[in-house]
Amino acid sequence: MKTLPLKIILLVAALWLPHSAYAANSILVFGDSLSAGYGIAVAESWPSLLLQELKRSHPGFSIVNASISGETTLGGRQRIAKALQQHHPSIVIVELGANDGLRGYRIADTEANLDEIIKQSKQARAKVLLVGMRLPPNYGAAYTAQFHNIFPGLAKKHRVKLLPFMLDGVSPEQFQRDNLHPAAVAQPHIMRSVLKELKPMLR
């Protein structure tokens, strides 16, 4: 009996495996302008820097940046299902909420939208890294405290990883002129902050 070449055997076996068995692990960055690279070159944004780092340290992972400048949690809630279906991520980095807070949206609505995004991501068998945000003090002590508490509360409820504050350690001079968006010089620091929480999820 003639023996089939090894290459053919491996090819046939691969065709019978489900797509997830041999596809690269995809990380979905699901955020707003802070992750979309607003005001800087895309290659300088923290998701692009993260991809470069993962190519070196974890070459089995890829990144899809589905962040949109100006995005709210409601907008994210409305498009998360399609993003999950399209990209089949193994990890979802949820970075939303800042625009809700800056526009003074109801805390309950922001929390409910993030809750649904996390829930759908977990139902799609993806791990979730929730990225926290804070507001300037001029929004009032009560509102800023309630907004801040959204993120650790949801992380605890869903048992997902939390980066408490994405911009922690970014100095005032590292922001763009609008004082809202970090400049290119701050992106490596943000990337390292995200990576610190992400690393245990890559195992």
pLDDT in tens, 25-81: 999 999 999 999 999 999 999 999 999 999 999 999 999 999 999 999 999 999 999
Would you tell me how many other CB atoms lie within 10 Å of the CB of residue 77? Answer: 18
Q: Which residues pair with 31 in a beta bridge?
A: 95
Q: Give, in order, the Cα–Cα distances in Å from 150 to each of 91, 141, 198.
A: 21, 15, 20
pLDDT of residue 14: 36
Q: Give, in order, the Cα–Cα distances in Å from 178 to each of 22, 36, 76, 96, 183.
A: 44, 16, 24, 19, 10
Domains of the chain by residue range:
21-202
Rounded to 10°, the helix 73-87/107-123 angle is 10
pLDDT of residue 203: 84
- Catalytic residue positions? 33, 178, 181
Strands of the 61-65 sheet, one edge to the other: 61-65, 25-31, 91-95, 127-131, 161-163
pTM: 0.88
CATH class of the domain defined by 21-202? alpha beta
Q: Which helix (H) or strand (E) holds 95?
A: strand 91-95
From first to last of its 203 residues, the chain has per-residue pLDDT tens of 444 454 443 333 333 334 433 345 999 999 999 999 999 999 999 999 999 999 999 999 999 999 999 999 999 999 999 999 999 999 999 999 999 999 999 999 999 999 999 999 999 999 999 999 999 999 999 999 999 999 999 999 999 999 999 999 999 999 999 999 999 999 999 999 999 999 999 98
pLDDT of residue 148: 97
CB 194 within 8 A of CB 131: yes
Nearest-10 Cα torsion for 161, 34, 182, 145:
-60
pLDDT of residue 101: 97
pLDDT of residue 31: 98
* Pick from 69, 61, 93, 62: nearest CA to 80: 93
Whats the size of the chain, residue-wise?
Answer: 203
pLDDT of residue 11: 39
Q: Which contacts qualify for 156-159: CB closer than 8 Å, 24 or more apart?
A: 157/115, 158/115, 158/118, 158/119, 158/122, 158/128
CB 49 within 8 A of CB 40: no
